[in-house]
Amino acid sequence: MGALVDYIQFVLVPQVFNGLTIGVAVILIALGLTIIFGLLDVFNMAHGEFYALGAYLGVTLAGRGVSFWLLLLLVPLLLVPVGILVDRALIQRVFHRKERHMLTMLLTFGLAGVMEDVFKAIYGANIIKPATPLTGGIDFLGNYFPTYRVFLLAVGALTIAGVWLVVNKTSFGAMVRAAAFDRQMAASLGVPVRRVYSATFAFGVALAALAGVLLAPLYSVFPTMGKDFILLAFTAVIVGGFGSVRGVVLGGLLLTQIQSLASLYVSPVWGDPIVFGIMVLVLFVRPQGIFGGKLGHA
């Protein structure tokens, strides 16, 4: 009995907590991905590199003395013009072609490769480890919860709520949903569709950058970091349903909890095969994902 209590208290509880923080990390990255996909129908293969760009920008500015708390606002804002530029210069150029999916995928894939090499050229291949802005932890029921992870959970929840509000409760969100639902109709009703596209892409990129700043103290910064969470984020988007905020949150939490708890019972190496197996299963049974549908319907 004592052993069972010990097990629940010292193994299961922290495991669920740790899975939760990783889930929030995945969701933060997947949010931008699903918004860009839901509206623009573009699979942004460079999303991970925008996450890395946010982290590198954070490291650079922190080196100039900018406080971490300011970075949380500043870095996403700085990436807005970058997102608009990428949308105008690359995405919109091929957006109206018939083979849009293939072209935008190849374009953003190429962009990802270029960005990774630029990071390497500027910052070198070695890892950079920013200091954790909140040290220490909270002792609770004999368990230790690092303060920064608790903070991450709170910021993650706020960000998710904020994104949901923007998409569902603001006029910008209404325009986005209208444009996603029927582009021609929205345009004829006076929605500036092109600008809405650029703004949405920039919004997605800014979210990736915010994730970069938030996660850098936990996962460190290096040129290939963009590849780290991107597969899991894509999987969360597919399992949860393309273009759905609710779906991404649920998909992200579900997958990371399964992965985290599975690592207690089978070799951790099986974590990825289990997650991708679930994705394949979902694609078979319910290809649109659990909360599938276009952003306009979500």
Partner 1 sequence: MKTRLSTVSLALAGVLSAASAIAAEPIKIGVVTPLTQTYAPIGQQVRWGLELATKEVNAAGGILGRKVELIFEDEEANPAVATQKAEKLFQVTKVDFLTGTVNSGSTLAVGQVAERNDRLIATTVSFSDAITGDKCSPNVFRVNARAGQQSAALAEWLNKEKPGASVFFLGPDYEMGRNTVAAFKAAVESRGMKTVGEIFAPLGNKDYSPFFGQMRAARPTVLYTSVAGNDTARFFTQLEEYGLRKNLLIVGASGTVTSQNMGALGAVAEGYVTGVGYSPEIDLPANKKFVTSFQAMAGAAPDLYGADSYGLIYFYKAAVEKAKSTDTAKVRTAMRGLKWMTPQGEKEMRAGDHQAIQDMYAVRVEGGKFRIVSKVAGTLAVGPDSCTRF
User: What whole-number distance in Å separates Cα of residue 12 and Cα of residue 143?
Assistant: 11
Residues in contact with partner 1, counted by CB under 8 A, come to a total of 37
Q: Angle 145-248-81 (CA atoms, 0-180°, nearest 5)?
A: 95
The residue (of 148 and 197) whose beta carbon lies closer to partner 1 is: 148
In the structure encoding, which two tokens stand for residue 284, read together? 């078979």
* 14 interacts with partner 1 by CB under 8 A: yes
User: What whole-number distance in Å separates Cα of residue 289 and Cα of residue 108?
Assistant: 24
* 77 interacts with partner 1 by CB under 8 A: no
Q: Angle 77-227-110 (CA atoms, 0-180°, nearest 5)?
A: 80
Footprint on residues 42-71 left by partner 1 (CB under 8 A): none
The residue (of 147 and 288) whose beta carbon lies closer to partner 1 is: 147
Q: How far, CA to CA in Å, does 248 sit from each of 52, 96, 147, 254?
A: 21, 27, 25, 10
In the structure encoding, which two tokens stand for residue 278, read together? 């679930």
The residue (of 22 and 40) whose beta carbon lies closer to partner 1 is: 22
Answer positive or negative: Cα dihedral of 42, 45, 51, 54: negative
The residue (of 5 and 285) whose beta carbon lies closer to partner 1 is: 5
User: What whole-number distance in Å separates Cα of residue 192 and Cα of residue 84?
Assistant: 15
* 296 interacts with partner 1 by CB under 8 A: no
Residue from 32, 58, 146, 240 binding partner 1 (CB under 8 A)? 146
Smallest distance, partner 1 to C-beta of residue 72, A: 19
Per the listing, tokens 């919004």 go with: 203
* 267 interacts with partner 1 by CB under 8 A: yes
Smallest distance, partner 1 to C-beta of residue 67, A: 19
Site string for partner 1, 97-136 (x = CB under 8 A): -----------------------------xxxx--x----
* 229 interacts with partner 1 by CB under 8 A: yes
**Under DSSP, is residue 138 helix (H, G, I), strand (E, B) or coil?**
strand
- Note whether 229 and 50 are within 8 A (CB): no
Residue 122 neighbours by CB distance under 10 Å: 10
The residue (of 65 and 142) whose beta carbon lies closer to partner 1 is: 142
Smallest distance, partner 1 to C-beta of residue 11, A: 4
* 235 interacts with partner 1 by CB under 8 A: no
**Under DSSP, is residue 286 helix (H, G, I), strand (E, B) or coil?**
coil
The residue (of 10 and 109) whose beta carbon lies closer to partner 1 is: 10
Q: Which helix (H) or strand (E) holds 146?
A: strand 143-146
The residue (of 78 and 262) whose beta carbon lies closer to partner 1 is: 262
Task: Give contact residues for partner 1 (rule: CB under 8 A).
Answer: 6-7, 10-12, 14-15, 18-19, 21-22, 126-129, 132, 137, 144, 146, 148-149, 217-220, 222, 228-229, 259-260, 263-264, 267-269, 271-272
